Chains A and B, each alone.
Chain A
């Protein structure tokens, strides 16, 4: 589901809640007793419906966790290192500050093959940053944190060709909004 359809789902639920509150609020214009027995039954129905719906959604969404599965090898590996305030993205490992400087300032953008399984190995040399994939049409597709001392592995198959932007999605200081990177899918 895209972000926009999730947004609409939320709007429907929010309007429903507001509607119920409005109805109940207006009911006070005419004073009446509550049938507590019936209300208790309703509460039970509500409990089981809500728990049921939540369980179904857990069942649907938990298998879609984005974490890398064991026993499957990626077709291509891309190394990403964040550092105040740029991302260095390279097909060869980046281990020192000099390499990071070199890659982030001079290296040509990495090219990823469309439809293949790519693994982004993401880390940081200073604070936490957020590695994200913005598709050519501007939609945020996925993300993972760039954390000092750890490597987060994000696996993706990118089918749409074109220029992908990496924006920083974890607040990292005064130029956080200018921190970026770029790569191409071909």
Chain B
């Protein structure tokens, strides 16, 4: 039984131990940041519930920026680390690069903490140009600099990391083969595991997103350096949303890699690349470039063909996800002699959350609907669904799998079910208040709700109860899995 679940790298012994140490370090960083960032989210709901009436609103916005960037970053690096570990079955990524990325990430986090919690830098997670340059008396100049600097560090660290993974794949398969075009032609040699295909698609997109980020940073530095040059607001918006959209989407795809690779170990059925899988993921590679236009529907000056293309691409990109990944997950589980563990439960629920969040996203990607949903609470509603109830569950499922496999300590089946139940009740309850808020015209990113949208206060209060339930689930999860990851760290060889 234990044999079947183990991720075995192409090399064993010392090298395997070192990968375990690296991966357990990443998992512990992820599992440490998660509850802290969750509490920052709870803090925002407390403020919106009017329970801290004397708090200055700039603190809300600084915390919002930290929570948003922190969460997006944490799940991205968590997914990269988990996928790297999975890929060691097939290829040889560099451990050194991953440790370097960890160093860059920690440095970036420290700078980000300083800019937001000391500097009160509050621009929201996607720092829409030109807001960083208009502090309205709140944050000092050094905070903007430190922020841009921390983005640059993170950007460099993560780009090197993505490039190294692609290098490892290319050395073993060649990138063309890794994209599985030969499957589309009907050949099945060389065999490409789905994890390799999806990672390749994700990382190519990631690099295009990071390129946009570099352009944003360079343009910002140019303007900020006082050369008299000013940027075009519409161009900057396009670049920023392209970057943000790609970063969020590839995090989801990397989460899906984990499901493709780990869930079959619990269902006892294989999940192989075939023609449909190859077509689906190559379609995604293409469409993800155009779907980002849906962030700019309310910029009426954007050329109209882009708006139409945005809606068409956003609608169509849901087809490969639904018909291939979600349908196949159901097929993998249907009537299988499934071992329901904490890991397989969370991953299965994660695919469900991805599907539900996807429906909410497609609804909002309708231009005529976006006219009334854009920047209301519907937006955090849908992205929290596919993050919190999607990618996060997939990654927590991976960490549970990893902890179980390395520590070899059997888990408590009852506790696993209890944790899953608390996540579902707390998570969807918390989300429902965002959705109800969006349906009742409550704007997103309001520290205090004005009298026209007072209903937002009640929704925030109800959400707090659900957040408490979720937090309890997270604590139990950390007790189960955090311990195992720590054990994995202690018992694995240091490099």
The binding surface of chain B is classed by DSSP as helix
Q: A58-B312, A152-B300 are in contact. Are A43 and B327 (CB under 8 A)?
A: yes
Contact A151–B301 (Cβ < 8 Å) = yes
- A interface residues, how many (CB within 8 angstroms): 76
Contact mask A47-85 → B, CB, 8 Å, 1/0?
A: 100110010011001101111100000000000000011
- Cβ of B366 within 8 Å of any chain A Cβ, yes or no, is yes
Do A54 and B316 contact each other (CB < 8 Å), given the known contacts A14-B356, A147-B301, A169-B443?
Answer: yes
- Of the candidates B57, B128, B312, B376, the one whose C-beta lies within 8 Å of that of A128 is B128
Docked-complex contact B330 and A138, CB < 8 angstroms:
no
Given contact pairs A18-B352, A66-B368, A143 touches B299 in the complex (Cβ within 8 A)? no
Whether the Cβ atoms of A10 and B372 lie closer than 8 Å is: no
Report if A54-B323 is in contact (Cβ < 8 Å); known contacts: A134-B441, A152-B301.
no
Interface flag for B363 (CB, 8 Å): yes
Q: Are the CB atoms of A169 and B367 closer together than 8 Å?
A: no
Cα distance A68–B301 in the bound complex, in angstroms: 10
Say yes or no: is B149 at the interface (Cβ < 8 Å to chain A).
Answer: no
Q: Within B285-330, which residues are at the interface with A (CB < 8 Å)? A: 298-301, 304, 307-308, 311-312, 315-316, 318-319, 322-323, 327, 330
Q: Which residues of chain A have C-beta atoms less than 8 A from B405's C-beta?
A: none
Contact A126 B130, beta carbon cutoff 8 Å: yes
CB proximity of B451 to chain A, nearest CB, Å: 9
Which chain A residue shows the least CB distance to B339?
A: A28
Chain B residue nearest to A36 in the complex (CB): B331
What is the interface of chain A mostly: helix, strand, loop, or mixed? mixed
Residues on B with beta carbons closer than 8 Å to the beta carbon of A54: 315-316, 318-319, 362
Of the candidates A13, A31, A169, the one whose C-beta lies within 8 Å of that of B374 is A169
The answer to whether B438 touches A143, judged by C-beta atoms less than 8 angstroms apart, is no
B368/A173 in contact, CB under 8 A: no
Q: Which of A84, A169, A175 contacts B57 (CB 8 A)?
A: A175
- Complex CA gap A180/B438 in Å reads 19
**A153 contacts B300, C-beta separation under 8 Å:** yes
Q: Known contacts A31-B337, A141-B372; can you find 12 more A-B pairs with CB under 8 A?
A: A3-B440, A3-B441, A28-B333, A28-B335, A32-B335, A61-B368, A140-B376, A152-B300, A167-B453, A170-B375, A174-B122, A177-B450
Binding site for B on A (CB under 8 A): 1, 3-4, 6-7, 9-10, 13-14, 17-18, 20-21, 24-25, 27-28, 30-34, 39, 43, 46-47, 50-51, 54, 57-58, 61-62, 64-68, 84-85, 126-128, 130, 132, 134, 138-145, 147-154, 165, 167-178, 180
